[in-house]
A = this chain, B = another copy of it.
Amino acid sequence: MSGHATSLRLKLPAICFLLQLLTIILFAVYVRYDEETSANLWHQKLRHHNGSNLDNDFYFRYPSFQDVHTMIFIGFGFLMTFLKRYGFSSVAFNFLIAAFAIQWSTLIQGFLHSFHNGKIHVGIESMINADFCSGAILISFGAVLGKTSPVQLLLMTLLEVTLFGINEYILLILLCYQAKDAGGSMTIHTFGAYFGLTVSRLLYRPHLNKSRQREGSVYHSDLFAMIGTIYLWLFWPSFNSAVTAHGDDQHRTVLNTYFSLAASTLATFAISSLINGEGKLDMVHIQNAALAGGVVVGTSAEMMLTPFGAMIAGFLAGTISTLGFKFITPILDSKLKIQDTCGVHNLHGLPGVLGALLGALVAGLATQDVYGDGLPITLKYWPQPLPKGGTLFIPPPVYFPPGGILKMSFLASPPDTQCFEDQIYWEVRLDLGTL
């Protein structure tokens, strides 16, 4: 019976306990406070450098971190509540997998990027990077939304976080020595989107039409989704700037992202009403494409992109993203058998690729005249812009083996008739039949 097969009773506790136990053991062995969070090390540092407690990086990164944190848990979580009967699962599975992803990615990123003397040292920067990685996982979640159990999602998180770390390592360390992608156009958005689309392809459901009547929104669910949209939009400047260099870099990243987002919003409203037969606006576009301005400057916002350059980028991204929802999503489904519930290809995939190319372009145009003394700081990381743009398309086939694991039959996946439905995983007090 489908009721039995989707029961979480033993499966979800088992995977939660195992993953949390494994994490705790690895943390006990490998994870330590860093120089800014350890009582001992920080006070040594203060003594040796005659420093002040107010120099602790906490004061210069924590507000940005909290904005990113809000994007991950409120922004992504509520953005996905647009489905009429899947609000509990959207916001709560988002909560669950992000809560695991931040723990697991602290380990994976620690092993790959900051493993010194056999230990991983944690503090505000590791927290931001862990939240960033969970953003990629949630993008992938958007592609498979409504068609996966929380057991599958936790397993996907385990695998994807690991691949995210490896992909980042290859892209930023091996291929382009010390390249940076602060807002993650490539490492977060492009990776998260194409990983999610690959998984969605592997889990292709030929009979999804049996659940299509639940794959839309109702009036109030679209308003809940707007909470997610607006928070993502508001805090995207913090997302792109959270780990850029202190000073003008962080300040400029915020400014560029702010203008890019404003322009992508106007583009989205324009294109949404233009492509609608009756001259009406579509909430799906506003909820998603207006954010493309944040994605597209993820790589380049820390550079001297200029405010009008940011606006042009944002306007193009909003346009392309809205067109994608109208014209590309149906083709992905019918021709490529990729069922992309939230349209992550339009919001994160296309604008992410565009953002990587833009980053390469702006890096290529950098001159000493424009950057002054700021040049070495900003651009020493950009020696090989073109290969970097090129590496974007390598990963997807690599995702097949891990993605395939998610097809295993005992993972409480919903049947084709019960997709986009909270009642199979939740005690729902109101009969939802009327929605």
Interface residues of A (CB under 8 A from B): 3, 6-10, 12-13, 16-17, 19-20, 23-25, 27-28, 31-33, 36-44, 46-47, 53-60, 62-63, 66-67, 69-70, 73-74, 77-78, 81, 87-88, 91-92, 95-96, 99-100, 102-103, 122-124, 127, 150, 216-220, 222-224, 226-227, 230-231, 233-235, 238, 245-252, 254-255, 258-259, 261-263, 265-267, 269-271, 273-274, 276, 278-283, 286, 290, 304, 306-308, 311-312, 315, 369-375, 377-378, 424-430, 432, 435
Of the listed residues A40, A46, A223, A248, the one surrounded by the most CB atoms of chain B closer than 10 A to its CB is A248
Contacts of A249 in B (CB 8 A): 39
**Closest 6 A-B residue pairs measured CB to CB?**
A39-B374, A53-B247, A9-B279, A7-B279, A40-B372, A43-B373
Q: A27: which of B27, B304, B307, B374 is its contact (CB, 8 Å)?
A: B307
Q: Is the CB of B56 within 8 A of A248?
A: yes
A123 to B7 alpha-carbon distance, docked (Å): 53
Q: Is the CB of B58 within 8 A of A254?
A: yes
Q: Kindly provide the distance from the CB of A260 to the nearest chain B CB, expressed in whole angstroms.
A: 11
- Knowing that A27-B307, A87-B219, A281-B427 touch, tell me 9 more A-B residue pairs with CB under 8 angstroms: A9-B274, A20-B270, A24-B263, A28-B308, A73-B230, A77-B226, A95-B286, A124-B254, A281-B426
- Among residues of B, the one whose C-beta sits closest to the C-beta of A293 is B99
A150 to B74 alpha-carbon distance, docked (Å): 28
Q: Kindly provide the distance from the CB of A264 to the nearest chain B CB, expressed in whole angstroms.
A: 9
Q: Is the CB of B226 within 8 A of A280?
A: no
Of the listed residues A10, A16, A81, A124, the one surrounded by the most CB atoms of chain B closer than 10 A to its CB is A16
Q: Is the CB of B281 within 8 A of A44?
A: no
Of the listed residues A6, A88, A95, A281, the one surrounded by the most CB atoms of chain B closer than 10 A to its CB is A281
Q: A9-B276, A270-B13, A425-B281 are in contact. Are A248 and B374 (CB under 8 A)?
A: no
Integer count of this chain's copies in the complex = 3
Contacts of A44 in B (CB 8 A): 372-373
Contacts of A38 in B (CB 8 A): 248, 252, 304, 374
Q: Kindly provide the distance from the CB of A202 to the nearest chain B CB, expressed in whole angstroms.
A: 25
Q: Is the CB of B33 within 8 A of A304?
A: yes
Q: A427: which of B10, B39, B276 is its contact (CB, 8 Å)?
A: B276
